Structure 1
Amino acid sequence: MSKEITNANIEKFAQDFAESAKSNAIANTVAHNGIDASSRNLGADIAMTPNFSVEIQTGDVANQKQSGRCWMFAALNTMRHPLQDKFELKGFELSQNYTNFWDKFEKSNFFLENVIETANLPLGDRKVDFLMATPQQDGGQWDMLCALIEKYGLVPKSVMPETYNSSRSSELNATLNTKLRQDAVELRQLVADDKSADEIATAKEAMLDDVYRILVFTLGEPPVKFDWEYTDNNHQYHIERDLTPKSFYDKYVGMDLENYLSMINSPTDDKPYNHVYTVDLLGNVVGGRQVRHMNLKIDDFKALAVKQLQAGETVWFGSDVGKSSDRKEGIMATDVYQKDDLLGVDLSLTKAQRLDYGESLMTHAMVLTGVDLVDGKPTKWKVENSWGEKAGNFKGYFIMSDAWFDEYVYQVVINKKFLSEEQLQVIAAEKDKPTVLKPWDPMGALAL
């Protein structure tokens, strides 16, 4: 039976507060400065010095501005790093707007296909509600970008630059989602009216024609062929004519995306380690690469990231960037705030508890570009963010403590050459039959 709060309860709570000698002083500082500033720990700044025993120089950081495309920026950063070195290009970026265009187009089709697939489920069904909550958005995961590149290739940023709507995506997202929900009404009605598959397909094609037009108006039209001009670091002019997005990718990037696999660390009871998982309703390209994750223990998970960095290759990773993070200083550390001590409460949860109870999930993707090893063990990590050079005190780079990695990093993308033979055998055996997680599982969260 429920029990109401009584006056006696309140009197006791007030007396408990009054009996603490520090209560008024703490109340004053928190009221004037907020919880984070009042609990900020100077010791975290001292520990997070920008020195690393393993470090890859990657140049200037990019800026996703007011959009949720960190997963694209992070992935394209890992691809531009070797390209910059090989062709001696300073400040070079791949076009995030090009992948953004095709992502939104493919996500629209992915949504419409799922609307048709679930049309016989009633409104109010959890799966239908999940679809309608966000028909499409900016966020994504590594495998989703691979699906786009495998189908559409890449282009330099100079060939398809940013627009107002790519850098400030809220208006486009709101408009496109209204259109897609309207389309969902029509598609569900067509299924309810027992229309033929051909009639439904014709209606969907007209809907995609509208989506394409909206995207061209807001993002520009993606190039089919282009000439690429650039001047290298030695002031030498170059021009490459009649490139296609796929031929550009093959010649200038050339990563075999099949070799790059997603590893996760999810210490929850529903995901035994050393198995492969996918997530229902997660993806963008219908018929394209499926999102797949192999769940590893934290030590194995972290060791793979170290190996890849030691080999001179940066690492795409997904984390909950807002937790124990000081954006102004560019520090991510579990002790950056001491809220428990300030407020006199226990706020501790295990990583599994945070995932199970909705306290944490992947929210942001970045790139590991360095690690500091002491006696072979990581103590802190260098992180390339995509919030521009003004974020943090290190020209857009962040410093992450190893303890923060343990608690809030959920995904790393690793070249399979660094995996053990046992890990590769599991991936091969479960590639076509991964365990399917619910659409709302935290491992299906999209990085923004």
Structure 2
Amino acid sequence: MSKEITTQLVQEFNTNLAKRVDAKAIQNAIMKNGINAATENMSSVIAMTPLFSDEIETGKVANQMQSGRCWMFAALNTFRHLLSSKYNIKDFELSQNYVNFWDKFEKSNFFLESIIETSAEPLDGRLVSWLLETPQQDGGQWDMLVSLIKKYGVVPKSAMPETFQSSKSADLNHLLDSKLRSNAFTLRSMITEGKSVDQLAAVKTTMLQEIYQLLTFSLGTPPSSFDFEYRNLDNEFKRELNLTPLNFFAKYVDLDLDDYVSVIHAPTADKPLNQTYTVEFLGNVIGGTPIHYLNVEMSTLKELAIRQIQDNESVWFGCDVGKASNRVSGIMDTAIFDYQQAFGFNVELDKAQRLDYKDSILTHAMVLTGVNLVDGKSNRWKVENSWGEKAGNNGYFTMSDDWMDHYTYQVVINKKHLSPELQAAWKQAPHSLKPWDPMGSLAIMH
């Protein structure tokens, strides 16, 4: 077997390519328009008509701008759907920036504590290298959101609006990550020198003070109390004074977050179905809600999502949005691009193989707000995104059932929709996954 590419081999490839009568036309189309535009399948566009038999009434979509806060936007969207319906308010938003502030502050502390915990591990070992690669980021998971809401509550967007750095987070992330890596060097050095626990705690407190200042200057000061004023669709003006974020969540959102569970479909050999899983060193709030997944069949995951939609409640879900997806038209369908016709091949990996071979992971969180059922079976889904109204159909996407099967990994479901068997399975002690496991990926796409 030849190890090198020879001139003769390249000539052979060119000769074979020249035998294709459509080669020049395909080449011109792709060079001019790009692979996806040139291979778009109009049959998929027609099939993905944005009509749904079961649909939740929602409003104007939000826009996460140039940040990776999709998981926050998706969760807060599920909250505002309930709030807007209950209080008859149009296009109301909760402050994503408020949650973002506390997430970054808590992630910084989580990282510093992880560095202290792993001080005996080698600096070039896989675990410490993994921690240092991304000390914190915009992305997250449902259970991380639960930890934040339980500790800090929520506020209306008017109480803590967006800032330049909340909407364009790259510069803040780069500076904060560099600071955290510098802090990690200091803490590991102190431990090597035999400094006491009290000395470490004092230095870490100073580090957190500096981080708090950076976040306050960049994102604003989180309100400890605020006034809530709004006018409903009946033109009635409402006001409530001096609310705290926790009181606001309890009164206006009024959800018991402990009622909700993360259901996943990860069909790899190392994750048997109907068992629960957690991920080491994945989280944000020390002492908060740990990552907890229940792995089920894909058919079960979809049945649960349908039940919740039919109960008039939207569904937070995590997926790999970059696969077989057209951001402009808002179509997510495995048939949207016909690579076989253009290139003569398809990528032949099933869902488990894509996870095992790093071809797909959860990258983005959105909200299921509708489903189209034919004879009781789903064939397409309505998706509320957080990329503004210019993406998709006024910000909403249409997802085929086949795409759901291939690229959706997680939904968050009220426990009341779980069968007794699944509820019992949820209560099992979770199996622990390594930090770099595919199910440790964070929703961060923007």
- TM-score (normalizing by structure 1): 0.98
Q: Counterpart in 2 of 1:424?
A: 423
Q: Counterpart in 1 of 2:203?
A: 203
Q: Counterpart in 1 of 2:116?
A: 116
CA distance in 2, matches of 1:2, 1:284: 51
Structure 1 window deviating more from structure 2 (326-335 vs 226-235): it is 226-235
Q: Counterpart in 1 of 2:39?
A: 39
Q: Is 1:13 aligned to 2:13, yes or no?
A: yes
**Amino acid of the residue matched to residue 126 of structure 2?**
R
Q: Is 1:446 aligned to 2:445, yes or no?
A: no
CA distance in 1, matches of 2:157, 2:42: 40
- The structural deviation recorded for 1:2 is 7.0
CA distance in 2, matches of 1:35, 1:173: 32
Question: Which deviations, in whole Å up to 9, do the C-alpha atoms of 1:20-53 show, x marking residues without a partner?
Answer: 2222222222222211111000111110111111
Question: Which deviations, in whole Å up to 9, do the C-alpha atoms of 1:245-290 show, x marking residues without a partner?
Answer: 1111111011000010000111111111000001111100000000
Question: Which deviations, in whole Å up to 9, do the C-alpha atoms of 1:316-369 show, x marking residues without a partner?
Answer: 000011110000001100000001221112322101111111111011100000
CA distance in 2, matches of 1:63, 1:199: 44
- The structural deviation recorded for 1:198 is 1.1
Structure 1 window deviating more from structure 2 (20-29 vs 302-311): it is 20-29
Q: Counterpart in 1 of 2:136?
A: 136
CA distance in 1, matches of 2:109, 2:235: 44
Q: Counterpart in 1 of 2:321?
A: 321
Q: Is 1:228 aligned to 2:228, yes or no?
A: yes
Question: Which deviations, in whole Å up to 9, do the C-alpha atoms of 1:43-85 show, x marking residues without a partner?
Answer: 1111011111100011110010111100000000001101101
CA distance in 1, matches of 2:210, 2:337: 48
Q: Counterpart in 2 of 1:60?
A: 60
Alignment of 1:386-425 (within 5 A): 386-392=386-392, 394-425=393-424
CA distance in 1, matches of 2:182, 2:43: 53
CA distance in 1, matches of 2:162, 2:312: 30
Alignment of 1:124-203 (within 5 A): 124-203=124-203
CA distance in 1, matches of 2:417, 2:301: 11
- The structural deviation recorded for 1:9 is 2.2
Question: Which deviations, in whole Å up to 9, do the C-alpha atoms of 1:138-186 show, x marking residues without a partner?
Answer: 0001110000000111111111111111111111111111111110010
Any stretches of 5+ residues in structure 1 without a counterpart? none
| Cα RMSD for the two superposed structures | 1.0
Instruction: Note if contact 1:120-1:191 (Cα within 8 Å) is conserved in structure 2.
Output: no
Q: Counterpart in 1 of 2:274?
A: 274
CA distance in 2, matches of 1:43, 1:100: 41
Q: Counterpart in 1 of 2:295?
A: 295
Q: Is 1:104 aligned to 2:140, yes or no?
A: no
CA distance in 2, matches of 1:353, 1:341: 24
Instruction: Note if contact 1:56-1:312 (Cα within 8 Å) is conserved in structure 2.
Output: yes
Structure 1 window deviating more from structure 2 (119-128 vs 274-283): it is 119-128
**Amino acid of the residue matched to residue 400 of structure 2?**
S
Question: Which deviations, in whole Å up to 9, do the C-alpha atoms of 1:126-147 show, x marking residues without a partner?
Answer: 1111111111000001110000
Instruction: Note if contact 1:334-1:404 (Cα within 8 Å) is conserved in structure 2.
Output: yes
**Amino acid of the residue matched to residue 379 of structure 1?**
N
- The structural deviation recorded for 1:15 is 1.9
Instruction: Note if contact 1:366-1:383 (Cα within 8 Å) is conserved in structure 2.
Output: yes
Give the 3-state SS of the residue equivalent to 2:439 in structure 1: helix
Instruction: Note if contact 1:340-1:347 (Cα within 8 Å) is conserved in structure 2.
Output: no
CA distance in 2, matches of 1:329, 1:397: 9
CA distance in 2, matches of 1:63, 1:22: 42
CA distance in 1, matches of 2:64, 2:189: 39
CA distance in 2, matches of 1:342, 1:217: 51
**Amino acid of the residue matched to residue 31 of structure 1?**
M
CA distance in 2, matches of 1:336, 1:184: 46
- The structural deviation recorded for 1:6 is 2.5
**Amino acid of the residue matched to residue 412 of structure 2?**
V
Give the 3-state SS of the residue equivalent to 1:158 in structure 2: helix
CA distance in 2, matches of 1:379, 1:345: 26
Instruction: Note if contact 1:380-1:399 (Cα within 8 Å) is conserved in structure 2.
Output: yes
Structure 1 segments (4+ residues) deviating >3 Å: none
CA distance in 2, matches of 1:221, 1:26: 55
CA distance in 2, matches of 1:233, 1:426: 44
Any stretches of 5+ residues in structure 2 without a counterpart? none
Give the 3-state SS of the residue equivalent to 1:348 in structure 2: coil
Structure 1 window deviating more from structure 2 (223-232 vs 13-22): it is 13-22
CA distance in 1, matches of 2:344, 2:158: 54
Structure 1 window deviating more from structure 2 (273-282 vs 3-12): it is 3-12
- The alignment covers a number of residue pairs equal to 444
